[in-house]
Amino acid sequence: MNKENFRFYIKVRTALNIPTRVIYDELHSVYGDQAPAFSTVERWVKWFREGREEVEDKARPGRPVTGTTSENIEQVRLLVDDDPYITIEEIQDQIGLSHGTIHRIITDHLNLKKITARYIPKNLTDFQRAERVRICKQNLAKFQEGT
């Protein structure tokens, strides 16, 4: 059930003068953890009693997130593929996106994280893990031999 459906139910029950606690208990007994919190039910009951009619969210001020486009994601991916040591500030200078937008693209869309100043995939494949273990063992053997 989406937010508007919960709010519509709260609106109808409020119009019937059902107490807030009863409305919350009904929603919680049917939807469990999916139901809105008591404070949310209480807030919407108050607004409906004050005369609010709409169940949709009011428009919020602020700038919408528009920098996360497929073109920008591809540009960032190409830059990181070319130079995995690149910093967000350097990407900012080249593309002109905000720090937050670039960080969101790298972590959420490209699924990368920075390790030792280099971007690598968050989830390694079994082959990649085995290759890293092999290389580490090889380096350890070299160290123990003194070379």
In tens, the pLDDT along 35-57 reads 999 999 999 999 999 998 988 88
Mean pLDDT of the chain: 89
- Quick check: 69 pLDDT over 90? no
CATH topology agreement for domains 3-49 and 67-147? yes
pTM of the model: 0.45
How far is the C-alpha of 87 from the C-alpha of 6, rounded, in Å? 44
3-49: which CATH topology?
Answer: Arc Repressor Mutant, subunit A (1.10.10)
Instruction: Name residue 128's amino acid.
Output: Q
Q: Tokens 């390694």 map to which residue?
A: 124
67-147: which CATH topology?
Answer: Arc Repressor Mutant, subunit A (1.10.10)
- If DSSP codes are grouped into helix, strand and coil, which group holds residue 9? helix
Q: What is the DSSP letter of 64?
A: -
How far is the C-alpha of 15 from the C-alpha of 45, rounded, in Å? 9
Domain layout of the chain by residue ranges: 3-49, 67-147
How far is the C-alpha of 35 from the C-alpha of 29, rounded, in Å? 9
Question: What integer pLDDT is reported at residue 89 of this predicted model?
Answer: 92
